[in-house]
């Protein structure tokens, strides 16, 4: 931890990971002495097993899914890979999805299809339907699986659920929702999502790292052999502390409070920057610089995005240059997804969008700011002051 003489950094990278919530910390302390193996039949093992199964029931109840079809994993990346390794047919996704989805589907070669996105920042629905029509004419014995994030981790865009599910039903394909960036930030309506598969990670909502969930509607292949834990899908002794932490984090989800807190701060960033520079609410080119802002405050086409994320870009400073300046000033933020932030294509979601037709060079100048319940207005004001100072110095 930071010493008493050090100033803690200002953390603005909640889409990468979140602080462990105080409620979760307290709940963990209560079970630190429960060290039994949940597969053991003695009293300590049975106590551990009760914590395990109570956690499963609690999470399943919140999500309105069948606990008999929900297993614990190390996180969404593992969950996604289990799903893909269980599916023999074609899998379709979008170029903007998480690397655990895109790279897995690239590896499938002819059994994978990665589609461009549209001007609203999500999968291009016209191209998706064209692909489904094309596949409908083929002699496919295996169902098609559509794999999408409910909320994009970089730009915060929410997938158009109704339009996507209309195609799922029309062409009788399977749907896999990665809810990692959605859980705890927005209501999850299982009647609308109707998932064949659903995954999420604990560390995105105040739980410990190293725990995730995988829900499957019908069946899934065994991925590891051993003691038959986790409904026979994933053998190995379960991480009771992490699993309990996820259950407790979900117990304390308060969507209205989260929405109010994060949307006020994101809107504050957007408004203060645009007011300070006297520009419109999307983009601006002037003799000094070029700027791009993207958030829930942006009124572009039919874009819907989550409350906690804003994208900022300035032409004359690359993402890496800005990142270094902010890091030296004590700010923790991101230039894209934590899993792709060191890659040159971390912000390829911006390239196809109509809002960036004349701003494509800004894709290498993007910063992602993502906040949470612990973020304060004072921290946001400090960030805005630093951002403006960098912008005006270019």
Residue 391: predicted pLDDT: 87
Which DSSP helix (H) or strand (E) runs through 276? helix 255-277
Interval 136-156: pLDDT, tens: 878 777 899 999 999 998 889
Interval 158-213: pLDDT, tens: 999 999 999 999 999 999 999 999 999 999 999 999 999 999 999 999 999 999 99
- Report how far residue 364's alpha carbon sits from residue 343's, in angstroms, rounded to the nearest whole number: 11
Residue 285: predicted pLDDT: 43
Residue 296: predicted pLDDT: 62
Between strands 10-11 and 331-332, the pairing is: parallel
DSSP secondary structure letter of residue 74: S
Q: In terms of pLDDT, which residue wins out, 337 or 63?
A: 63
Residue 5: predicted pLDDT: 60
DSSP lists the bridge partners of residue 213 as 72, 200
Confidence band, pLDDT 50/70/90 cuts, at residue 353: very low
Interval 106-131: pLDDT, tens: 998 889 999 998 877 889 999 999 99
The per-residue pLDDT of the chain, averaged, comes to: 88
Interval 47-102: pLDDT, tens: 999 999 999 999 999 999 999 999 999 999 999 999 999 999 999 999 989 999 99
pTM for this predicted structure: 0.91
| Residue 301 reports pLDDT greater than 70 | no
Start-to-end C-alpha separation, the chain: 35
The residue assigned the tokens 């994101």 is 266
Residue 344: predicted pLDDT: 39
Residue 92: predicted pLDDT: 97
- Report how far residue 26's alpha carbon sits from residue 41's, in angstroms, rounded to the nearest whole number: 27
DSSP 132-165: HHHHHTS---S--EEEEESB-TTT-BBP-HHHHH
| Residue 280 reports pLDDT greater than 70 | no
All domains of the chain, ordered by start, with CATH? 10-14+255-393 (3.90.1150.10), 22-251 (3.40.640.10)
- Report how far residue 357's alpha carbon sits from residue 359's, in angstroms, rounded to the nearest whole number: 6
Give the burial string for 337-373 (b: 16+ CB within 10 Å, else e).
bbebbeeeebbbbbebbebbeebeebbbbbbbbbbbb
| Residue 220 reports pLDDT greater than 80 | yes
């Amino acid at each position: 931890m930071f010493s008493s003489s050090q100033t803690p950094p200002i953390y603005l990278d909640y889409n990468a990971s979140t602080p462990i919530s105080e409620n979760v910390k307290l709940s963990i302390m209560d079970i630190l002495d429960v060290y039994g193996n949940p597969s053991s039949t003695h009293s300590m093992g049975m106590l551990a097993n009760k914590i395990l199964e109570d956690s499963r029931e609690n999470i399943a109840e919140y999500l309105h899914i069948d606990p008999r079809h929900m297993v614990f994993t190390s996180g969404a990346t593992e969950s996604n890979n289990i799903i893909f390794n269980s599916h023999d047919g074609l899998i379709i996704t979008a170029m903007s999805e998480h690397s655990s989805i895109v790279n897995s589907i690239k590896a499938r070669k002819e059994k994978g299809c990665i589609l461009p996105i549209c001007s609203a920042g999500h999968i291009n629905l016209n191209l998706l339907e064209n692909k489904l029509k094309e596949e409908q004419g083929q002699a496919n014995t295996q169902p098609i699986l559509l794999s999408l994030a409910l909320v994009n981790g970089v730009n915060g865009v929410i997938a158009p659920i109704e339009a996507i599910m209309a195609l799922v039903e029309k062409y009788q394909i399977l749907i896999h929702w990665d809810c990692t960036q959605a859980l705890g930030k927005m209501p999850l309506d299982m009647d609308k999502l109707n998932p064949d598969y659903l995954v999420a990670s604990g560390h995105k909502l105040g739980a410990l790292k190293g725990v995730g969930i995988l829900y499957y509607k019908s069946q899934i292949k065994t991925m590891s052999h051993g003691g038959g834990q986790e409904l026979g899908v994933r053998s190995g002794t379960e991480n009771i502390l992490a699993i309990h932490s996820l259950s407790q984090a979900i117990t304390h989800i308060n969507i209205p409070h989260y929405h109010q807190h994060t949307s006020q701060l994101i809107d504050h960033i957007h408004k203060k920057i645009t007011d300070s520079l006297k520009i419109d609410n999307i983009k601006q080119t002037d003799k000094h610089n070029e700027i791009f802002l993207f958030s829930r405050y942006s009124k572009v086409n039919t874009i819907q995005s989550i409350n906690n994320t804003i994208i900022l870009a300035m032409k004359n400073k690359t993402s890496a240059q800005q990142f270094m300046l902010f890091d030296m000033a004590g700010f923790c933020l991101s230039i894209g997804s934590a899993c792709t932030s060191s890659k040159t294509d971390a912000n390829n979601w911006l390239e196809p969008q109509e809002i960036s037709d004349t701003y494509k060079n800004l894709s290498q100048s993007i910063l992602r700011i993502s906040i949470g319940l612990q973020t304060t207005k004072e921290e946001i004001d400090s960030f805005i002051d630093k951002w403006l100072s960098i912008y005006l110095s270019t």
